[in-house]
Chains A and B, each alone.
Chain A
């Protein structure tokens, strides 16, 4: 009998580290769909993901955790919503060295509002050591504008322990949410 499948989404702008983060935890070499980057004015990468990154983790029950990285360009935002449907949660990665990272987050909070509002998201801010502004307070202020509570953490997804930290924070939130519901049901 086929095992169950679960989905985890990694979102963020081009160069934010989605592919790197998936590679850090996937048990298979991630499948990447790269083409030549035609938008070098806004980013200097030679290639960029125009479809999705994919990785997977096999659970002890034989079930699969499928890892999806969204394309970074906003013209693919319709795919972000599709991928978010039924996902356990979303890891939103931000490149703090971009010209306007707060606007990047603004776009993703719009696209993943339901997921973020239901405590199934975490935001990881990268490159804060070389680009300390905007600070985490600015991102929290943006989340406050949306009326949502979301954990925001400085990370370097080239380090596997930082990717695991993001997932630990994400799962801890979901677990706390389940605990609250159980307590409510017992009351």
Chain B
């Protein structure tokens, strides 16, 4: 008697999967949370509710603006698997739908469908980007490199998105990055002194190495964000010259403010950001406007470059942004520097 051989795909081990909701009212989110507990015994994989766009499935409200973010992420990363919650009359965008009101059988069908899709999906390639990241060869030597050059190499590595692990070593100091996860690990807390020594080409040989053993990235204790790492690197390393392609004579503008709620900063940084976001300034103009040394101004600009805040369009001389003329006509006439100075004093904010 021939023994029937089972289809290997039917023997797949149950996987842990997650569901989130985007823009749904609280009661609908609560309903889905409850239903997941009830239907788990009837699904191939084990499903739990999770917050955030890292989930496997995102059930989206058709009117939610955040849903566009989820869809963009799906197109870029392949997840979350976006599903539109649509009532009888609601017009949902093209894509999988889950009918509202939600029934357990339709939810189970959705989850099983996604499970099947995910099982069929090939394992992600190590990287779809070109294999050669901008890493200096071990024997390239310092060759006139500066700390800013090393910081720019770090920035380019993170943009490259490789899934390999890279390391900067300066004596006992180490910094590792996994670009595909935008993960940074440091052997010490991210202080100015630590970064200054780490980025010094005389100490690190002007190179960033690729590690052969990727899992070593998790063994360093400190995990600063990639943005904070680049920001601090710019401030520490970048005072002598401007990062390419900027140069001293070109006006510079900001497309985005630094997130000062998360990034260490000096009062003058807020002043500089306010001016650069209104209209482009040359370094010399900014020095005059904020009364700080040119080196400090260049370091701030370089930190903004490293964090992707400088707009190439704003790096060319042009008319001030529309806010400038709107400000003159819309602002109450009584608001002047004197009043603002008085308010700053009363709040302990410090002067201009």
In chain A, positions 137-187 with a C-beta closer than 8 Å to chain B are: 137-138, 140, 142, 147-149, 151-156, 162, 164-165, 167-169, 171-181
Q: Is residue B101 contacting chain A, with contact meaning CB distance below 8 A?
A: no
Is the pair A59, B343 in contact by a Cβ cutoff of 8 Å? Answer: yes
Q: Are A147 and B322 in contact (CB under 8 A)?
A: yes
What residues of B have a CB within 8 angstroms of the CB of A177 in the complex? 278, 323-324, 327-328, 331
Say yes or no: A60 contacts B346, CB within 8 Å.
yes
Q: How far is B340's CA from A120's CA once the two chains are assembled, in angstroms? A: 12
Stretch of B25-33, B34-42, B90-98, B296-304 on the interface side: B25-33
Using known A-B contacts A118-B326, A132-B52, A148-B323, determine if residue A60 contacts B342 with beta carbons closer than 8 Å.
Answer: yes
Pairwise interchain contact B342-A63, C-beta atoms closer than 8 A: yes
Chain A residue nearest to B24 (CB atoms) is A99
Complex CA–CA separation, A176 to B27 (angstroms):
46
For window 28-74 of B, CB contacts with A under 8 Å fall at 29, 51-53, 61, 63-66, 69
Are B347's CB and A164's CB within 8 A? yes
Closest to B259 in A: A154
Given A133-B53, A151-B273, are A165 and B260 neighbors across the interface (CB < 8 Å)?
yes
Stretch at the interface among A28-36, A72-80, A101-109: A101-109
Q: How far is the CA of A181 from the CA of B336 in the complex (A)?
A: 11
The residue that B65 contacts in the complex, of A4, A102, A149, A162, with Cβ under 8 A, is A102
Q: Could you show 25 A-B contacts with beta carbons less than 8 Å apart?
A: A41-B25, A41-B27, A42-B25, A42-B26, A59-B346, A61-B342, A65-B343, A99-B22, A99-B26, A100-B64, A100-B65, A118-B326, A118-B329, A119-B326, A120-B330, A133-B53, A140-B256, A164-B347, A167-B349, A169-B257, A169-B274, A171-B340, A173-B277, A180-B327, A181-B328
Question: Which residues on B are within 8 Å of A, measured CB to CB?
Answer: 21-27, 29, 51-53, 61, 63-66, 69, 256-257, 259-262, 267, 270-271, 273-275, 277-279, 289, 320-324, 326-332, 334-337, 339-340, 342-350, 352
